[in-house]
Amino acid sequence: MTLRGRKRGRILAAVTLVLAMAGGGLAGAPSAGAQTNPFQRGPNPTASSVSATGPFAISSTTVGSGNGFGSATIYFPTDTSQGTFGGIAVAPGFTETQSALRWWAQRLASHGFVVINISTNSTFDNPSSRATQLQNALNYLVNTSSARTRVDRTRLGVSGHSMGGGGTLEATRNNTAMQAAIPLMPWDQTKNFSGIRTPTMIVAGQNDGIASPSSHALQFYNSIPAASEKAYLELAGAGHNASNSTNPTISLFGVSWAKRYIDNDTRYEQFVCPGGGSGISRYMQTCPGS
Ligand code: 9J3
């Protein structure tokens, strides 16, 4: 069984504390906390660094159809010196293809994830089908793809736009081992996601007339148990397709969420807790102390 980032974080913190206490009596022991998290990748982040292309050079490889999803492109850090990276599957919305979220898949990879960005079998597939295809893509990524040795199969997440965001929510509900979910302007006729046990950041557009926050994102957010950890990021003045071109705010919050929960990297907590800021019409979260 896979522990969620939060639980695993507590265990790691406890182990680290014991090591720090043991090390405290040793002359010349490394400073406590120097190597606290085996999943940490990359230099210390700043708000501007996480809002932009990350520190990892990336490469890509394409995947044909017939693997349980449409065609795909896998983006991965070229660095093999630091061990494996967390994996993320990304899906587009109704009538869209992998081009819609290419920037987002590349952005995540540049911060240290192996990302499979899919087109769906049909551009008309419903959110449930997109959920199945996202899970199939993760399975393909870790079991079959040429990038499989670069991925840690125990640390996986999902993201997607619109019906791909609905698919993100459904895939997360269906697989409680998922470490993080980031639905972007999610659209789904299912409104109750009380079965989600994964930290989930829902991104919404204040002026989205296709997946309006009141009929979609807010209902999804409210249905997810607080104990799962969740956040609601509403972009001021944004429409349905705000996620489909380079967006520094989605980068800052979304990358931070992935790093915090897929990599257990608490250096990123400062960017999502307490959250909010310029260009954000509403932000809600379940941060410690909130
Ligand atoms: O994936 C999306 O953009 C969902 C939008 C939509 O209009 O669905 C209606 C069938």
Q: Does the Cβ of 187 fall within 6 Å of ligand 1?
A: yes
Residue 31 CA to ligand 1 center (angstroms) comes to 52
Mean pLDDT over residues 170-184, rounded?
98
Residue-wise pLDDT for 249-270, tens only, equals: 999 999 999 999 999 999 999 9
Q: Which atom of ligand 1 is nearest to the CA of 93?
A: 1
CA 123/CA 83 separation, integer angstroms: 36
Could you give the CA distance from residue 176 to residue 196 in angstroms, rounded to a whole number? 7
- 111 is annotated as an active-site residue: no
Q: Contact at 8 Å (CB) between 63 and 116?
A: yes
Q: Which pLDDT score, from 0 to 100, does residue 184 have? A: 99
* Cα angle 161, 162, 167; round to 5: 80
Q: What is the pLDDT of residues 180-190, one digit of tens each?
A: 999 999 999 99
- What's the average model confidence in pLDDT over 173-201? 98
The mean pLDDT value for 83-97 works out to 98
Catalytic entry in 125, 188, 208, 265: 208
The domain 47-285 having CATH identifier 3.40.50.10490: the answer here is no
Instruction: Check if 251 has its Cβ closer than 6 Å to any atom of ligand 1.
Output: no
User: Is the CB of 138 within 6 Å of ligand 1?
Assistant: no
Among 168, 210, 244, which is best to mutate for testing ligand 1, by the most ligand atoms less than 8 A from CB? 210
pLDDT of residue 126: 98
Domain ranges of the chain: 1-36, 47-285
In the set 119, 212, 240, 263, the catalytic residue is: 240
Whether the per-residue pLDDT at 88 is higher than 70: the answer is yes
CA distance 239 to 236: 9
208 is catalytic: yes
Q: Residue 35 — very low, low, confident or very high, per pLDDT cuts 50/70/90?
A: low
Q: Which of 62, 233, 267, 48 is nearest to 159 (CA)?
A: 233
pLDDT reading at 27 higher than 80:
no
Q: What is the chain's alpha carbon radius of gyration, rounded to the nearest angstrom?
A: 18
CA 130 to ligand 1 centroid distance, Å: 12
Task: Measure the CA dihedral 205/207/209/213, to 10°.
Answer: 50
Span from the CA of 161 to the centroid of ligand 1 (angstroms): 10
pLDDT for the residue 34: 56
- Give the 3-state secondary structure of 39-98: CCCCCCCCHHHHCCCCCCCEEEEEECCCCCCCCEEEEEECCCCCCCEEEEEEECCCCCCC
What is the distance in A from the centroid of ligand 1 to the CA of 93? 7
Say which of 119, 162, 243, 251 is annotated catalytic.
Answer: 162
Q: Are the C-beta atoms of residues 266 and 212 closer than 8 Å to each other?
A: no
Cα–Cα nearest to 174, from 227, 129, 207, 140: 129
Q: What is the pLDDT of residue 15?
A: 44
